[in-house]
Structure 1
Amino acid sequence: MAVTDQLNNVLDKTQRLIALCDSLKEENDLLRLENQSLQVALEAGKSKVADLEEKARALKLARSLEEIAVAKQGTNEKALDIKQKISEFVREIDKCIVLLKK
């Protein structure tokens, strides 16, 4: 092989390597852009999860407060029922006392 053939061969291989390098740079740039968009999506997802967890905690707290209020209301209703029954018993006792006095 002549020196010129070897030189041409080296030049051809160099041009292919440069083309391959350019192609890999383009691919690398595309992958970096994709990576950035995925990181943005991930951060948005994390933010959404944090918001939903906060809403879930608030809802859980609201429900527990509502249960306490309902239980308290139920207790108040029971107390009112008991007071009414006591009043009825007192009226019955008063009627019995009036009948005994006669």
Structure 2
Amino acid sequence: MALEQYIQRIDDKLHLLLKKLQQVQAENVLLKEQLQAQEETLAARDETIEALENKLHLAKMAVATQGTPSSREDDEEFRKEMRTKINDYIKEIDRCIALLNS
């Protein structure tokens, strides 16, 4: 009789363990779905931030090119930035010309 009780306890514990496993697996699926949703939300926010930063940058460039009074530091920063952009464009044009010539 003790052996049957021991086997029954093991069987009960096994069923309990399987039930907990199913609960953990269901929770894992739910958490994965929530993580995916959060990652998508984060990606969308990153895109929005990047777009807004681009708009801000363009607005600053537009203000600077209109000759509006600005501080000397802003003016120098703008000039450096414009030189860098122009140099990048020139390099890209040179690469295109090299590709056309080859």
Aligned residue pair count: 68
Q: What TM-score results when the alignment is normalised by the length of structure 1?
A: 0.64
C-alpha distance after superposition, 1:6-31 (max 9, x if no partner): 00000000000000000000000000
**In structure 2, what is the equivalent of residue 46 of structure 1?**
46
The one-letter code of the counterpart of 2:34 is: E
**In structure 1, what is the equivalent of residue 14 of structure 2?**
14
- List 4+ stretches of structure 1 deviating above 2 A: none
**In structure 1, what is the equivalent of residue 31 of structure 2?**
31
**What percentage of residue pairs aligned between the two structures are identical?**
25
Q: How does 1:20-99 map to 2 (within 5 A)?
A: 20-67=20-67
Structure with the larger RCO, 1 or 2 (CA within 8 Å, 6+ apart)? 2
Contiguous gaps of at least 5 residues in structure 2: 69-102
The one-letter code of the counterpart of 1:65 is: T
Q: What TM-score results when the alignment is normalised by the length of structure 2?
A: 0.64
Whose Rg is larger? Answer: 1
C-alpha distance after superposition, 1:70-92 (max 9, x if no partner): xxxxxxxxxxxxxxxxxxxxxxx
- State the distance in 2 between where 1:21 and 1:33 align: 18
The one-letter code of the counterpart of 2:61 is: L
Look up the SS of the partner of 1:67 in the other structure: coil
Q: Post-superposition shift, 1:66?
A: 1.2
- State the distance in 1 between where 2:67 and 2:19 align: 71
Q: Post-superposition shift, 1:67?
A: 1.9
Deviates more, 1:28-37 or 1:1-10: 1-10
Higher helix share: 1
Aligned-CA RMSD value: 1.1
